């Protein structure tokens, strides 16, 4: 991906108070952000509320976003994750796992599992790698919490994440190469 | 904290996922600012997480965008930047808070103007009333003075001891008529000259008392006066009016006698 993201003009406009820029960014990112939120809160109505809150928050706090520190998506993801976790903590929908201090969603609160199913290259990973990424990325756990959920040492869990990201990177690079070959083939007939 | 630890221990991943506390996050940011290779690594991870996000995107219901737009368009929501600068699509004067403040200020302003005008009107009314009251007081005082004067004059001519004598003009001045009110007990005389014709500027009427054949001056008569006090002369047998040079004479000009009455 480019180091000069496509969203920069919209972010500049948003910082000047342009509402249309907010709606454009919503069109660009609401799907991926909603995917994260829905998987964390596991409730459609609440996920819709949190998504709205997330973009209101982006609207209000855009002046705090510093492009030099990271991508807009990363910043928006953090906002969405924090709001989702607050929503869950407020509703006390986590149950404490024994004495670990880790909270886990109760099974009956998960609705429409097909909505929270993982897609893309992530599904090509080994199950424990897939689960590790799911826990920290789509369930809102920290590394310190997630390794307890998987019942493996923290170091092992971290290596799961690193291996998962390495294989994903290889997969994405392969996709880019294949995409390039297809494009060249289309152009030159 | 060094670059190797940041990558191998997964701290960079935790930073991107927002798991770190503020102090550790700031330390990571400092490293990222100073190390372009690390920065590149972080960007690569960000790209990957973004890609995972897009692959697992779920289209939100259309109602969410509508609600978002409603909330933003309601203008109750403002960006943090708007406190520092005025921006195009969400002008500060359209914010609900500003409108409310402006409304209250306008109401307060109008109330103040209304109260000021009321106060001015009241002050004007009060000044008018005070002026009118002063006029009434002045008129009352004048009326009281007039009444006092009238009463005094009336007492002078209506007293039981007062005897009125009418002096009618002779053929030289037939229209002339003077009334002299004499009070022998109080030894006072007042004269009404309202019906005495005016003279030339060089002449005056003069009243004389005849005592044993000698005419004694009682005073010059000014015309048009209701009651002129003149000198009382004892044992006067008649009153006589002559026309004399302006200011009166020591001795009467008998040829200019215009009226007399015997007492």
Residue range A89-126, pLDDT digits in tens = 866 545 554 444 455 554 444 556 666 688 888 888 99
The confidence band for B78, taking pLDDT boundaries of 50, 70 and 90, is low
Residue range B162-212, pLDDT digits in tens = 999 999 999 988 989 999 999 989 899 999 998 899 888 889 999 999 999
With CB atoms and an 8 Å threshold, state whether A17 touches B16: no
Q: Closest to B14 (Cβ–Cβ): which among A14, A38, A143?
A: A143
Distance from CA of A137 to the nearest CA of B (A): 7
What's the CATH class of domain B162-262?
A: mainly beta
What is the model's pLDDT at position A116? 67
Residue with the larger pLDDT of the pair B77 and B213: B213
What proportion of chain B, given as a percentage, has pLDDT over 70? Answer: 92
Question: Domain residue spans in chain A?
Answer: 1-109, 118-189
Report ipTM for this prediction.
0.85
DSSP one-letter code for A70: S
CATH code assigned to A1-109: 1.10.1740.10
CA distances to B71, B119, B125, B137 from B129, rounded to whole Å, are 60, 15, 6, 12
Question: Domain residue spans in chain B?
Answer: 3-57, 162-262
Mean pLDDT of the B10-30 span:
91
> B113 Cβ partners below 8 Å, 6+ apart?
none
With CB atoms and an 8 Å threshold, state whether B57 touches A35: yes
Whole-prediction pTM: 0.56
- Structural contact between residues B240 and B169, judged by C-beta atoms closer than 8 angstroms: no
B189 C-beta neighbours (distance < 10 Å), count? 25
Interface-testing mutation among B79, B82, B93, with chain A (most A C-beta atoms within 10 A): B79
Please report which helix (H) or strand (E) contains residue A103, including its range. Answer: strand A103-105
What is the model's pLDDT at position B87? 41
CATH code assigned to A118-189: 1.10.10.10
**% helix / strand / coil in chain B, to the nearest 5?**
50, 20, 30
Chain A contact for B45 (CB, 8 A cutoff): yes
| Average pLDDT value over all residues in chain A | 84
């Amino acid at each position: 991906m480019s180091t000069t993201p496509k969203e920069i003009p919209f972010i500049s406009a948003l910082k000047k108070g342009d509402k249309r820029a907010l709606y454009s960014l919503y069109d660009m990112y609401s799907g991926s952000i909603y995917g994260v939120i829905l998987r964390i809160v596991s409730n459609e109505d609440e996920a819709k509320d949190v998504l709205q809150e997330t973009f209101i928050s982006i609207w209000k706090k855009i002046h705090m976003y510093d492009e030099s520190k990271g991508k807009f998506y990363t910043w928006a993801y953090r906002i969405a994750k924090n709001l989702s976790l607050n929503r869950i903590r407020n509703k006390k929908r986590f149950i404490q796992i024994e004495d670990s201090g880790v909270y886990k969603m109760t099974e009956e609160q998960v609705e429409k599992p097909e909505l929270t199913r993982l897609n893309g290259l992530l599904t090509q990973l080994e199950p424990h790698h897939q689960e590790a990424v799911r826990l920290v990325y789509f369930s809102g756990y920290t590394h310190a919490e997630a390794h307890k959920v998987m019942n493996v040492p923290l170091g092992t869990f971290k290596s799961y994440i690193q291996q998962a990201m390495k294989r994903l990177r290889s997969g994405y690079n392969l996709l880019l190469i294949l995409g390039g070959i297809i494009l060249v083939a289309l152009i030159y007939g | 904290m060094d670059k190797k630890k940041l990558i191998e221990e997964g701290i960079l991943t935790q930073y991107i996922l927002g798991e770190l506390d503020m102090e550790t996050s700031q330390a990571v940011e400092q490293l990222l600012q100073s190390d372009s290779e690390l920065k590149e690594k972080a960007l690569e991870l960000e790209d990957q997480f973004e890609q995972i996000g897009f692959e697992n995107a779920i289209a939100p219901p259309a109602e969410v965008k509508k609600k978002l737009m409603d909330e933003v368009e309601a203008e109750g929501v403002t960006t943090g930047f708007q406190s520092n600068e005025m921006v195009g699509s969400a002008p500060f004067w359209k914010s609900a808070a500003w409108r409310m403040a402006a409304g209250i200020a306008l109401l307060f302003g109008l109330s103040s103007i209304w109260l000021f005008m009321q106060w001015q009107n009241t002050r004007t009314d009060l000044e008018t009333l005070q002026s009118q009251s002063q006029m009434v007081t002045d008129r009352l005082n004048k009326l009281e003075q007039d009444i006092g004067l009238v009463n005094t004059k009336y007492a002078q001519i209506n007293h039981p001891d007062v005897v009125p004598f009418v002096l009618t003009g002779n053929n030289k001045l037939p229209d002339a008529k003077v009334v002299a009110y004499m009070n022998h007990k109080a030894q006072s005389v007042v004269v009404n000259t309202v019906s005495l014709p005016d003279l030339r500027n060089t002449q005056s009427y003069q009243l004389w008392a005849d005592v044993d054949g000698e005419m004694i001056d009682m005073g010059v008569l000014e015309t048009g006066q209701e009651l002129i006090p003149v000198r009382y002369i004892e044992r006067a047998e008649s009153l006589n009016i002559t026309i004399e040079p302006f200011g009166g004479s020591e001795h009467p000009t008998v040829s200019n006698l215009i009226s007399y009455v015997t007492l």
